[in-house]
Amino acid sequence: MRVSLSGRSCDVMAVRPESAAFWTAAESGHWEDETFRFIDAVTREPGAVLLDVGAWIGPVALYASPRVARVIALEPDPVARGELAANVDANAPNVEILNAAIDNTPGELKLYAAQGLGNSETSSIGQGEAIVVPTITFADLGARAGEARTVLKVDIEGHEYRVMDALIDFARSRRASVHLSLHPRSYWTDLRKSQGFFGSRAATFEATWRAVERLGEVGDVVMSGSQRPATRGEISRMIWKKRPKNFAVEVRRPR
């Protein structure tokens, strides 16, 4: 398929019906336009390296490619990574793909594909088809990025709670702009097994608010969709629903 992502034309693989449906929706503006706006805002100066952690089939990597010096894209799901590689080969020679998941230590990590491999929701929490993948740390990514200005985009389906401290320490040390997708619904669903309905909800709120508070060490944190400050009240409205709502926050101007 030939698609236009917020003005960026790309030739993409669409062998799976799910992929074709996604690219059609993305071209129509029905997929995370706020992420593209974030990339526009933080790449006005040349020379940045984008770390695309959880690249999936490549929408952010493809869109950012002409705006940055390099993209380092992590994708451990083998089906998604195959499509990512085809999309990169056709459009973006400055994208390096790593077969790895981010984690706190190098080694291996078990991921679960509840909707099947290639789906965008493969995660370290949950259930479904399991695969074991190699891991890489933020320190490893920093070494690969070198001294260049860093932009960090993270979308890892709930695993962000496990690596949050390392993520924030890395972003603060690099003075990196950050776009972080938070998945409290996945986190809450997993906690319900041991903490019940209300205990898991309270724990999910506290973990999510702590993540946002700590991200404030990097710079002013806003809700990606609205650009409103990510206050305790805003986070509460996302968590204290019938089902917690996934959302993204960002820091455009690191301190």
Residue pointed to by tokens 């593209």 = 36
Q: Which amino acid is at 21?
A: A
Q: Are 24 and 34 in contact (CB under 8 A)?
A: no
The mean per-residue pLDDT over the stretch 182-190 comes to 94
Give the whole-number percent of the chain exceeding pLDDT 70. Answer: 100
C-alpha–C-alpha distance, residues 242 and 208, integer Å? 17
CATH code reported for the domain at 31-251: 3.40.50.150
Backbone angles phi, psi at 116, to 5 degrees: 95, 150
Give the C-alpha separation, 56 to 51, whole Å. 13
Residues of the chain with pLDDT > 90, as a percent, come to: 87
Encode pLDDT of 75-117 as tens digits: 999 999 999 999 999 999 999 999 999 999 999 999 999 889 9
Q: Are 81 and 97 in contact (CB under 8 A)?
A: yes
In angstroms, the CA 166 to CA 245 distance is 24
pLDDT at residue number 14: 87
Contacts of 92 (CB under 8 A, 6+ apart): 58, 61, 62, 65, 66, 71
Encoding tokens for residue 67? 């705006």
Q: For residue 117, which of 160, 171, 75 has the smallest C-alpha distance?
A: 75
| Residues whose CB falls within 8 Å of the CB of residue 75, separated by 6 or more in sequence, listed in order | 54, 55, 56, 81, 84, 97, 98, 99
Q: Quick check: 54 and 156 in contact, CB under 8 A?
A: yes
Q: What is the pLDDT of residues 115-161, one digit of tens each?
A: 899 988 899 998 888 999 999 999 999 999 999 999 999 999 999 99
Mean of pLDDT values over 14-22: 91
Say if strands 129-136 and 107-113 run parallel, antiparallel, or are unpaired: antiparallel
3-state class (DSSP) for residue 206? helix
Q: Which H helix or E strand runs over 103?
A: none
**pLDDT for the residue numbered 198:** 86
pLDDT at 218 over 90: yes
DSSP H or E run through 2: strand 2-5
pLDDT at 197: 83
In this predicted structure, the answer to whether residue 29 has a pLDDT above a threshold of 90 is no
Which residue in 246, 162, 180 sits closest to 219, CA to CA?
A: 180
Neighbouring CB atoms inside 10 A of 247's CB total 23
Q: Write down the pLDDT at residue 115.
A: 86
Residue 59 has pLDDT above 90, yes or no: yes
Query: If you average pLDDT over every residue of the chain, what do you get?
Result: 95
Give CA–CA dist 63/7, Å, rounded.
9
**Average pLDDT value for residue range 59-83:** 97
pTM, full prediction:
0.96
Contacts of 237 (CB under 8 A, 6+ apart): none
Q: Residue 255 in contact with residue 219, Cβ under 8 Å?
A: yes
